Structure formats: C-alpha cells, structure tokens
Amino acid sequence: MTELTLTVAGKRALTDRIAEFTLTPAAGPLPGWDPGAHIRVALPKGGDRAYSLVSFAPVPAAPDHYRIAVLLEENSTGGSAHMHTLAEGDSVTVAPPKCDFPVNADAPALLLAGGIGITPMISMAAAHKAAGTPFRLHFAARSAAAMAYAEDLTQLCGDALALHLDDIAGGPVDVTALVRTLDADTHLYICGPRPMIDAARAAAEAAGIPPARVHVELFDNAAATDGDTAFEVELASTGEVFTIPPGRSIIEVLEEAGHDLMYDCQRGDCGICQTDVLDGTPDHRDVVLTEAERAAGKVMQICVSRAKSARLKLDL
C-alpha cells in the first residue's frame, strides 16, 4: 500500500519520557484500522519503527487522525529519539495500519499490559466496552511516572481497570495469580516487556490454556545478548551458506544477499517469519513458540533467534 505523509498536529507529554502524537493528513480521511493495529514510521537515516494506534472510542471506518504514544528509550539513538525531537507542524512518513495483534471483541478478555505496552490495549478495551463483552484490564508500570493514560483509562474502563505500580506494591504484578483467574471462555492478551510476557505465557501453558486463547505483542526491540557468537546458516534450496555475526539477524544477512523473505515485526512476536529447521539447534528468542515447540527445535523465528549449534540448515 502507498505510504502516507502526515503532519504532527499535536504533541503532548504524558509522562517525563512518554509523548503522545496526533498525526493528520493534508486532505481526506485516513485508512481505517482494527483494534491492536500499528503504523510504521519511517526514520530519517533509514528503517522504521512500529507504534500502536491509540483510540479510547470505537475506531471509525475513515478516521481523520492517528494517535500514537512513544516512550523515549534510555540511550536511544533510533526511533524513539527521533520521534521525541518532532514538533507540531513537522511531517512524518508512515506505512498504512497493519494488525498483527487482533482482538476478538465478542469473547471475554483479560488484557495485561506493562509500561508502554498499554497502547494497543486501549483500543481493545474500547472495542469490548462498545460490544458489551466482559473484560478486565490490568496495567502495570514501575512507578506512576512511567504510567501513561491512567486517568483516561479509569474513565474508559471503570471497575474493569486494575493499576499496579511496582514501587508501591514492592515488586512486579503476580501474573501467575492473574492467569489462574481465567475461565474457559476468556482470552488472554499480553503486551509489554519480555519478562512479563514470558511469565504470563509460562503460567498460561502450565494452566492448560490453549495457545489459541493466548495473544502476545512484544514492545522490546531485538537486542544482542552478551556472549553471542557467529554461526552459519545453510539454505536448503540452494546450498548457500551464510555467516550470521553477532549483532545481526538471519533476515538482515539474507536480505543483504538478495533473498526475498516474509517478515514483519522483527521482534519475535508475530510469527510471520517462522521457518522450518532441517538441521542444527536454534537459540530461541521469540515469544511465539510454546515450550514444547522450543524443545522440539523444528521451527524458529529468523528475525530474532540465533543458533546454539555451529550451523543451521533452514527450509529456505
């Protein structure tokens, strides 16, 4: 789809490190979007960053603006640093909305958000409220200074909202206890930092909740891990062998060599880049696979995962 050129029509501070942006077109309505969707904002030095769209009311078919909220990452030199330099009147180029984190507003839901992971959950809560479907929204942050939209969410959700501040509660939210409250019809939606997602997914798996009722979006970008070493990837279709150095992904190396690959999030949470592993042992770093799938080692997400063996042979 054609990229959109939008203007920053409004910018306001939600916390010391989170800013909200209202983006408008020069003329005409914008493409509609589904709750949980995001746009990708182009960066001046190349690449882009995904930001979830925010709406406290049912999304219109032809909206006149998009709203996003951006956390300024510590030591950021990329997307969040650029976004926070923008002022009203500046232009941005964005890809049209895409939804890798869809919600079923006809089924009861437990929405579990951590930090800036609240952004896609807002439109999900609004959709459930409009449909009259039961939902609960648990929103956790390290402190009140890191919690955006608390007052707005109270108005939207009423008694369905529970706020958790780590510094007051003495630690992170007990996701295992929350997951144990789910009944047979409730879907679990999780968005936030990796430790929260890992804990909630493990609790859901232990509780026997079917994977089809557990939905995840990760807000951490892929990062190198201390001790990462180079490994080789062999393509089954051609026999080509590529070296994947520390700090670079399989996708980056293969695309640079001219291979056309299917992927989207590049965080390991959408599953689009999942690839069969024909030989070798993956080092899984996604939030898509179950523990059983990880142990089997037959598939991997090539946007973030690496290798424990010297070489991987992939069905590419």
Tens of pLDDT, residue by residue over 30-61, are 999 999 999 999 988 877 888 999 999 999 99
pLDDT value, residue 76: 59
Residue range 4-98, CATH number = 2.40.30.10
Residue with tokens 């959408």: 270
Residue 129 in this model has a pLDDT that exceeds 60: yes
Contact by Cβ (8 Å): 267, 279: no
pLDDT value, residue 195: 87
pLDDT value, residue 111: 97
Residue ranges covered by each domain of the chain: 4-98, 109-218, 231-314
CATH class of 231-314: alpha beta
The phi and psi torsions of 5 (rounded to 5 degrees) equal -100, 115
Residues 156-164, mean pLDDT to the nearest whole number: 96
pLDDT value, residue 73: 82
Residue 315 in this model has a pLDDT that exceeds 90: yes
How many angstroms separate the CA atoms of 144 and 18, rounded? 12
CATH class of 109-218: alpha beta
pLDDT value, residue 222: 55
Residues 111-122, mean pLDDT to the nearest whole number: 95
Q: What is the pLDDT of residues 266-314, one digit of tens each?
A: 778 788 899 999 999 999 988 888 888 888 999 999 998 999 999 999 9
How many angstroms separate the CA atoms of 145 and 17, rounded? 9
CA nearest to 276, candidates 308, 301, 251, 294: 301
CA nearest to 232, candidates 316, 313, 315: 313
- Strands, E, within 53-153: which ranges? 66-71, 91-98, 109-114, 135-141
Phi-psi region of 227 (alpha: psi -120 to 50; beta: other; left: phi over 0): left
pLDDT value, residue 77: 54
pLDDT value, residue 22: 97
Residue 75 in this model has a pLDDT that exceeds 70: no
Q: Look over the chain and give the mean of its residue pLDDT values, rounded to a whole number.
A: 91
Residues 182-202, mean pLDDT to the nearest whole number: 91
